[in-house]
């Protein structure tokens, strides 16, 4: 079943929609103001926010789809695209940039074919870039699945990423 909506770029299918998700959405019928919490629950099910589920949230809870999307895109914790098995975060804040952070992003693009916001075809890595991780003296900083790596050179990045299959 396919649903096409007027909302920009939304062409959702009902494939990933399950009974479990249905009842989860229903459980928020009396607490629409807790949409952030609902989106967190949905993301923990799928590891991202499928568009078709956001459409269902809008329909079932009678919340404008634009509002659902605006919450989902406002918070960095939410992602609208499926992510890879490992999240690689490269800091491009001023301190890390000066110490070579940009070279790490270029290396990811060269070696894995991904830019910030993209995932490798084999879903091994998702790359993201951030503006500061709050540990500038350790730059360039890279975080892989929550583990901080300091003073990362392109060679060190190679060694670090080999550990993640």
**Interacting residues toward ligand FES by CB under 6 A:** 91, 93-96, 132-136, 139, 141
* Spatial contact of 102 and 92, defined as CB atoms under 8 Å apart: yes
Among all residues, whose Cβ is closest to ligand FES? Answer: 93
φ/ψ of 161, rounded to 5, equals -70, -25
- Token duo for residue 58: 């809008």
For the bound state, the minimum distance from the C-beta of residue 153 to ligand FES, rounded and expressed in Å, comes to 15
Coil vs helix vs strand at 86 = strand
Nearer Cβ to ligand FES (63/142): 142
End-to-end CA distance of the chain: 35
- Taking the C-alpha atoms of residue 78 and residue 99, their distance in angstroms, rounded to an integer, is 29
Instruction: Give the nearest distance from C-beta 116 to ligand FES in angstroms.
Output: 14
Closest distance of CB 92 from ligand FES, Å: 7
Angle (CA) 86 124 71, round 5°? 55
Residue 88's φ and ψ, nearest 5 degrees, are -105, 115
Instruction: Report the nearest approach of ligand FES to the CB of residue 87 (Å).
Output: 17
C-alpha 103/C-alpha 38 separation (Å) is 38
Of 8 and 134, CB closest to ligand FES: 134
Please state the separation of Cα 16 from the chain's center in Å: 18
Between 35 and 132, CB nearer to ligand FES: 132
Report in angstroms how near the CB of residue 91 gets to ligand FES at its nearest. 3
Nearer Cβ to ligand FES (3/136) = 136
Instruction: Decide whether 21 or 141 has the Cβ nearer to ligand FES.
Output: 141
């Amino acid at each position: 079943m396919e649903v096409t909506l007027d909302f920009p770029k939304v062409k959702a299918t009902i494939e990933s929609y399950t009974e479990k998700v249905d009842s989860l959405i229903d459980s928020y019928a009396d607490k629409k103001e807790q949409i952030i919490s609902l989106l967190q629950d949905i993301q923990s099910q799928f590891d991202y926010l499928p568009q078709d589920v956001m459409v269902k949230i809008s329909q079932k809870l009678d919340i404008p789809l634009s509002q659902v999307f605006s919450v989902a895109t406002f918070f960095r914790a939410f992602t609208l695209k499926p992510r890879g098995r490992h999240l690689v975060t490269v800091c491009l804040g001023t301190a890390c940039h000066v110490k070579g952070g940009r070279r790490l992003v270029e290396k990811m693009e060269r070696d894995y074919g991904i830019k910030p916001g993209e995932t490798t075809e084999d879903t091994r890595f998702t790359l993201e870039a951030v503006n500061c991780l709050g540990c500038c003296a350790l730059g360039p900083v890279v975080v892989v699945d929550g583990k901080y790596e300091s003073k990362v050179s392109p060679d060190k990045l190679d060694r670090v990423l080999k550990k993640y299959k």
